[in-house]
Amino acid sequence: MVIASVATTATAAQAATAPVLSASALSVMTLTDAGSFPTITGYRAADEASSRPFSVVRMSTLIAGGYATRAVCHPTDLTVTSAVAGFCWDSTDDTTTKWYPQGVTGSGDGMNGTTLYPPCDGCAGRKVVAVSWHSGAGYAPYGNDGLARVTFADVTNGDTGAPYRHALLVEPDGTAAGYHAIASHADGILWYGDKLILVTGGDRDASGAGRVVRVFDLTHFWQMSSTTSGAVGCTATACSAAYSLFALPEVGYYQFPDGAICDPLRNGTAASLTHPCLDSISLDRSTSPASVITTEYDDQGPQGRILRWPLDAETATAPLKPDADGYVRPDQGWTSPVYRMQGAAFTGIHGVVEGLCPNGAPPVSSMPDDPAHDAVIHGFAKSCLHKATISADGSLDVHYWTTTMENAENVSYWPSSGELWVMNEFRGSTDTQVSPPVAYPGDRLVLAIHCPDLTCS
């Protein structure tokens, strides 16, 4: 479906320069796989070789049926001239408070950037959108960030009525149950070859929060024998994944060398040099080798960092590329002028950064046009996309581009189709700062802007 859009211009199209992070600052930001890949992959292999009551299936089984997307059913608030397509979730996922979407990627990121990922051996490539979710506070007994899942929607034949299913993220652990739920905010995901990479910067109280980058193998989904249990793990007679028909088992993770959680930029606290938070991730295939872009959320000011990390070959078990000493370090970075960054995508010298709108950006449909509430209202965030260009001196020039749906999250650029994907987590809220309080409807969307090389308008 193509959605009509009307171009407008912000009255204050603010522009700023993002300073380059020095080599010394980048050198102390280190990740290690801590030997996790052979250990966890070994647990997975043992589970699959056992008589546990689950089946190992490929993605083709996962995307063959299930739920169905709907045509775009909420205002996009985009002010672009480029064509826009996308979808709404079904009515349950559109409004649920048990799950909140966070990250977006897809088969246009997978393979070599020109070939869509095939969901089984011998299959043709399929156009598949993947979105990560975290559980909400009302999901008993797991609570906020107690569970994480990824949804795979097959939009090959169109965005509307596309089949999709969820897969719970689990970690094989060698216990009697075989595996456990991954507690995570599921901030961002990236599809690279047959690997899915998840990053997180918000798991302050979650078990395993030090595992800031988790890796999954998209050739190994587990089909559960039970969907009637909220438990996660196996008994002698059934394997469950919190009511989900499918689970996606982890194969390894990265952490900071000391195993600590990240030091977030919250409430004006100073940025940690050694423990940056990874609140989003996207793939840039324009570099050689390909690289990943992470962003850091800051709720008080323009301190969040945009970091570029090197990738290894797509066939590598552990996909981040280490230096000679075995540690993975970012090789480029900036301090962003965009408040509350939720995502960024780059190709060549061009990029798009998602975050709060500048003053003077056009009003959006579900928020009052009130200067006192221009950026944030209890639970609302007025979201904008900002264009970014890497200058000859390495700095990043950033300027407002367009508003988008509120509480927008990650972005993902697919070179195979020239699409910039953006999605949001919003499901409705109430502005209690006015009298009487005003309720606003939810507007969860997944949108694709036709934007080859990120140079569209």
**pLDDT per residue rounded down to tens, the chain (457 residues):** 334 333 333 333 457 889 999 999 999 999 999 999 999 999 999 999 999 999 999 999 999 999 999 999 999 999 999 999 999 999 999 999 999 999 999 998 767 778 899 999 999 999 999 999 999 988 999 999 999 999 999 999 999 999 999 999 999 999 999 999 999 999 999 999 999 999 998 676 777 889 999 999 999 999 999 999 999 999 999 999 999 999 999 999 999 999 988 876 555 566 678 999 999 999 999 999 999 999 998 776 667 899 999 999 888 999 999 999 999 999 999 999 998 899 999 999 999 999 998 888 888 886 655 554 455 555 578 899 999 999 999 999 999 999 999 899 999 999 989 999 999 998 776 667 677 877 767 789 999 999 999 999 9
Structure tokens at 102: 């966070």
pLDDT of residue 426: 83
pLDDT of residue 7: 34
Amino acid (1-letter code) at residue 382? K
> Using the 8-state DSSP alphabet, how is residue 232 labeled?
E
Determine the number of helices (DSSP H) and then strands (DSSP E) in the chain: 4, 32
Helix, strand, coil percentages in the chain from 3-state DSSP, rounded to 5 = 5, 40, 55
User: If you compute the radius of gyration of the chain from its CA atoms, what whole number of angstroms results?
Assistant: 21
Query: What is the sign, positive or negative, of the torsion defined by CA atoms of 318, 320, 321, 324?
Result: negative
Quickly tell me which residue has 């991730």 as its tokens: 281
Q: Which helix (H) or strand (E) holds 91?
A: helix 91-95
Q: Which helix (H) or strand (E) holds 284?
A: strand 280-284
pTM flag (> 0.75): yes
Whether the CB-CB separation of 154 and 164 falls below 8 Å is answered with: yes
Nearest residue to 415 (alpha-carbon basis) of 108, 12, 85, 136: 108
Strand pairing class (246-254; 163-172): parallel
Nearest residue to 133 (alpha-carbon basis) of 173, 172, 88, 102: 102
Alpha-carbon separation of residue 248 from 197, 257, 415 (angstroms): 12, 26, 26
Q: Which helix (H) or strand (E) holds 115?
A: none
Alpha-carbon separation of residue 209 from 123, 241, 254, 297 (angstroms): 37, 20, 11, 17
Amino acid (1-letter code) at residue 432? T
Write the DSSP string, 388-432: EEE-TTS-EEEEEEEE-STTEEEEEEETTTTEEEEEE---EEEET
> Using the 8-state DSSP alphabet, how is residue 341 labeled?
-
Structure tokens at 237: 């007679």
The number of beta carbons lying within 10 Å of the beta carbon of residue 175 is: 11
pLDDT of residue 8: 34
Rounded CA separation 138/98 (Å): 6
